[in-house]
Amino acid sequence: MHSERFFRDHSKGNGVNIRVTGCHGFCERGPLVVIYPQKILYQKVKPEDVLKIFEETLLKGKVVESLLYDHPTTGDRIVHEEEVPFYQKQMRIIFGNNGSIDPTQIEDYLAVGGYRALPKALFSMKPEEVIQEVKKANLRGRGGEDSLRG
């Protein structure tokens, strides 16, 4: 059974809400599952792990040790997303909300302030002013090109 469908079918009335999100940045350890509000991070999750996560973590509040990340130098199991060395020194500006936004649901983006500057850019600014704002923001290209966007 498809993991997302399993959660949706079995979580009704349990207070469980599944949200499919974009990459959390730690793609090499994916698929990732983060359980909120505790921020328990499970890595390399396979379809056969879904039932165990549901029963142990969501229903019983227990951590599934075998799915935790092992610290690369100490070997300690890391439970929480923010304790993973990969994330510790990051200031997640662009991807800060990606764990709570379903990229297929525009309402999720609007709920975190997405598009709030759009009416100003469309109705209160001249095209040259919009270009100046983009230049001032120092936005850079993605995908390896790293060129300025202004």
What SS3 string covers the chain? CCHHHHHHHHCCCCCCCCCCCCCCCCHHHCCCEEECCCCEEECCCCHHHHHHHHHHHHHCCCCCHHHCEECCCCCCEECEHHHCHHHHCCCCCCCCCCCCCCCCCHHHHHHCCCCCCHHHHHHCCCHHHHHHHHHHHCCECCCCCCCECC
48-66 per-position pLDDT tens digit: 998 899 889 988 999 999 9
Average pLDDT over residues 135-146: 68
pLDDT score, position 1:
46
Better pLDDT: 24 or 57: 57
Better pLDDT: 26 or 34: 34
Percent of the chain with pLDDT over 70: 77
Residue 131 has pLDDT above 80, yes or no: yes
Q: How far apart are CA 63 and CA 55, in angstroms?
A: 10
80-118 per-position pLDDT tens digit: 988 988 877 777 766 777 777 777 888 888 888 888 889
